[in-house]
Structure 1
Amino acid sequence: MTALTEFQRLEAQGSWRAAPDASLREVIVSVGDATLVLSDPKNDRPLSHWSLPAVVQLNPGTVPAIYAPSIEGSDETVEIDDPLMIQAISRVQGAIAVHRSHTGRLRSILLVLGILGILGFLVFWLPGALVAHAARIAPPAQARDIGFAILADLERTAGAVCNRASGQAVLDHLTPQLLDANAIIRVVPGPLGGARRLPGGLYVIGSDLLQTAPGPEAAAAHLVAARLATEDDGLRAAAISHAGFLASLRLMTLGHLPPDAMAGFGATMLQQAAPRPGDAKLLSALEERRIPAEPYARSIDPTGQTVQPLIEGDPFRGAPPARPLLTDEQWLALQQICAG
């Protein structure tokens, strides 16, 4: 500080009393590095060091000025009648106080900025992290509840789920062959642009895949494609993200989402084309399940121009599977799942 540099070599005579009952002793008072040094004039040996910020004048405005190293905790005093030294002590104390004030203000500003930074980080990071965590830890039962909530939203656009018992029995028969034993397949009256996979192993197809196809192969291939093209973790994350932060918190604490958490999610899903897996991956899966690929390809593009690799790569293009997916009676029952 400028004030310290200016008065660093200033010295003056003073009278020091080491204790209230001690006699006065002549000393040399000098300004040190933020300290007031009292030295023996005979040999320059320091007798006492006082911290300048703590030094107080016991008789403000009076000369000789009487100083103590602090208001409490010390019995020492020193009398100084040199006006320049008195002025120096006052100015140095003022400079130290200003510096301390600036330092405290800067520290407060940095503290506030730090708190704001942490709050901003939490505001922007925490919701996304909580949503991702809720999606990751959701057990199968919760994931299936989310899937059915999305299906309920889809019903607003595509119609109520078709539930004719004979047709659903055929779907239940097909499910382990096409997907897995824990999966569920549902049919809605309206078109969905293919099969849609929902969280919790729930799959939905539109009745158009049943009414306009010569057999069950196209619908079956769409279901296999939906399974290959999407992952359950990603589906859960997208659904919980749609539900939002508070709904995610409710899912983690109470185990279920609010009733309207999936409102609009089904409509948003239908605005996008059904995801498709890579041709090679799909062809391999269809061959494993003994399902021809051409009916699936023709359901996407009847001309076959945009799906030529699927048609040409169909493992059963020359000879259909020896065993059909369904009997004629089963296929008829499935086609009539939305009847009545």
Structure 2
Amino acid sequence: MTALSEYERLEATGIWRPAPDAQREEVILSLGDATLVISDDRSAIARAHWSLAAMIRRNPGERPALYAPSDEPGEELEIDDDLMIAAIEKVQAIIESRRPHPGRLRGVLIGLAAVTLGAVALFWLPGALVDHAARIAPQAKRVEIGRKLLAEFTKMTGTPCHSPAGDGALDALAKRLPGQEAIVVLPDALKGARLLPGGLAVIGRDTIDGPDTPEVVAGYLISAQRSAAGERPLHRLLSWLGPSAALRLLTTGDLPDTGIAAYAQQLLQNAPERPKSDILLRAFRDAGVSSIPYAYALDPSGESVLGLIEADPFKGKPAPDPVLEDAQWVALQDICSAG
């Protein structure tokens, strides 16, 4: 460290006391590279060298300024020269700024850690919370949530369709398709099929009223399953409601009724996006269902679903097992008109 160029060879007079009980002496002060040289005012012989970095001022803001070489009692220097005082303080400030500051570095590191944790909490934690809640929810809770969603659906679509024979056909259809526990037919407003938590599926009356074959309703259900591939219905619900709902499910075991009602409305109004043809075709093959009837139900011209028609895994030959027996299919088609 060297003194500032504007203070090179700066000298001033001062009053020096070499010890607490010593006589005060008038001395010559010279500002060096990193020291203050105290010399005899007659012979100019150096009497002491004080480190500028270690010097302390005992009366900040007062005149004359009183300095000591350290915190220990002993020497004392009295300076009344404004330029020398300013030079000492400026050089000390430069030395201090270049000195390592472990505490400051620690503060910076703590700040960076806090920012990192904040970013993790903001971008990772919400998704992790939803994933965890959807993964550990017991089956009974999934079924309960699915039933609550169904209750909200019925407020908008009417009471689900029932008949003894039709209910039997729905049970048979659920057993025929992998991943389904129960299927409910809603009489109005719903188009296609939707999956709810707990293995429950709801289908619109349009899937059974017009088609000639049960492969159509099976196709809607298979498509709904594939559109949710990798994301179970409960996970999709929690993602839509947000991490606060997931946290509530984890801590209280419940979800807000208003959130369930809002989700049911948007689920009713927005059909799931149809998967790509190659994904659907694999699903139809695995389920043992022909894709052609479903394709023509989507587009009677066949133009927009040509892939599902031409690559039907069972084209030209019957599927291993019928989706429903003829009597079951007739009973299902009549389920909303019974009674």
Fold agreement, TM-score > 0.5: yes
Match status 1:131 vs 2:126: yes
**Which of the residues 277, 280, 295 maps onto 1:279?**
277
User: Does structure 2 conserve the Cα–Cα contact (< 8 Å) formed by 1:34 and 1:53?
Assistant: no
TM-score between the two structures when normalised by the length of structure 2? 0.74
Query: In structure 1, what residue type is equivalent to 2:184?
Result: R
CA-CA distance at 1:89 after TM superposition: 0.7
Query: In structure 2, what residue type is equivalent to 1:16?
Result: W
CA-CA distance at 1:55 after TM superposition: 1.7
Query: In structure 1, what residue type is equivalent to 2:77?
Result: V
**Counterpart for residue 242 of structure 1:** 240
**Counterpart for residue 224 of structure 1:** 222
Query: Aligned equivalents of 1:59 and 1:257: distance in 2?
Result: 65
- Gap change, CA 1:200 and 1:134, over 3 Å in 2: farther
**Counterpart for residue 51 of structure 2:** 49
User: Does structure 2 conserve the Cα–Cα contact (< 8 Å) formed by 1:51 and 1:69?
Assistant: no
Query: Aligned equivalents of 2:258 and 2:202: distance in 1?
Result: 20
**Counterpart for residue 11 of structure 1:** 11
CA-CA distance at 1:46 after TM superposition: 4.1
SS of 1:263's partner is: helix
**Counterpart for residue 83 of structure 2:** 87
Query: Aligned equivalents of 2:125 and 2:218: distance in 1?
Result: 36
**Which of the residues 181, 195, 198 maps onto 2:196?**
198
Segments of structure 1 that go 5 or more residues without pairing to the other structure are 102-106
> Which stretch shifts more, 165-174 or 47-56?
47-56
RMSD: 4.1
**Counterpart for residue 38 of structure 1:** 38
Please list the CA deviations of residues 225-273 of structure 1 after superposition, one character each: whole Å capped at 9, or x if unmatched. Answer: 2212222526444422332343232123223212222232233234434
**Counterpart for residue 289 of structure 1:** 287
User: Does structure 1 conserve the Cα–Cα contact (< 8 Å) formed by 2:130 and 2:242?
Assistant: no
User: Does structure 1 conserve the Cα–Cα contact (< 8 Å) formed by 2:53 and 2:96?
Assistant: no
**Counterpart for residue 326 of structure 1:** 324
**Counterpart for residue 104 of structure 1:** none
- Gap change, CA 1:229 and 1:311, over 3 Å in 2: same
TM-score between the two structures when normalised by the length of structure 1? 0.74
- Gap change, CA 1:186 and 1:52, over 3 Å in 2: same
SS of 2:231's partner is: helix
Sequence identity, in percent?
Answer: 38
Query: Aligned equivalents of 2:151 and 2:125: distance in 1?
Result: 25
Query: Aligned equivalents of 1:68 and 1:256: distance in 2?
Result: 71
- Gap change, CA 1:22 and 1:43, over 3 Å in 2: same
CA-CA distance at 1:314 after TM superposition: 3.0
User: Does structure 2 conserve the Cα–Cα contact (< 8 Å) formed by 1:131 and 1:237?
Assistant: no
- Gap change, CA 1:239 and 1:58, over 3 Å in 2: closer
**Counterpart for residue 260 of structure 1:** 258
**Counterpart for residue 159 of structure 2:** 160
Query: Aligned equivalents of 2:292 and 2:29: distance in 1?
Result: 104
